[in-house]
Amino acid sequence: MTKGNSHPFHKHGEAWIGQVHGRKLWWFLPPETQPIPEKVNACDYLTGKVPIPEGTFTSLQEPGDFMWLPKNWYHATCALEDWSVGVG
């Protein structure tokens, strides 16, 4: 991923990802969240162009950090660096 690229809110089975290079901002919402979050560029949450959904948890992932995602939790990401790599 390059700076400004994102993955919009989505959910799937349990997963993990380790950050190898660059930093990434994450947003999380519980599985029972209603309404289902819109699919927008998550980096727009940083500028205020798009409001962050109510009840969102946020976390910054840096190189060497591992993120564990419980099954069916909504999550979105935004790459904060020109080059960002994660393995999972």
Q: pLDDT tens for residues 42-64? A: 999 999 999 999 999 999 999 99
Residue 3 binned pLDDT confidence (cut-offs 50, 70, 90): confident
Task: Tell me the whole-structure pTM to 2 decimals.
Answer: 0.91
Amino acid at 13: G
User: What does the pLDDT average to over 19-38?
Assistant: 95
Q: Where would I find the H helices in 1-88?
A: 44-47
Residue 15 pLDDT more than 90?
yes
Which residues, including other chains, have CB under 8 Å from residue 36's CB and lie 6 or more apart?
Answer: 9, 74
What tokens does 67 get?
């993120």
Per cent of the chain over pLDDT 70 is: 100
Is the confidence at residue 1, as pLDDT, over 80? no
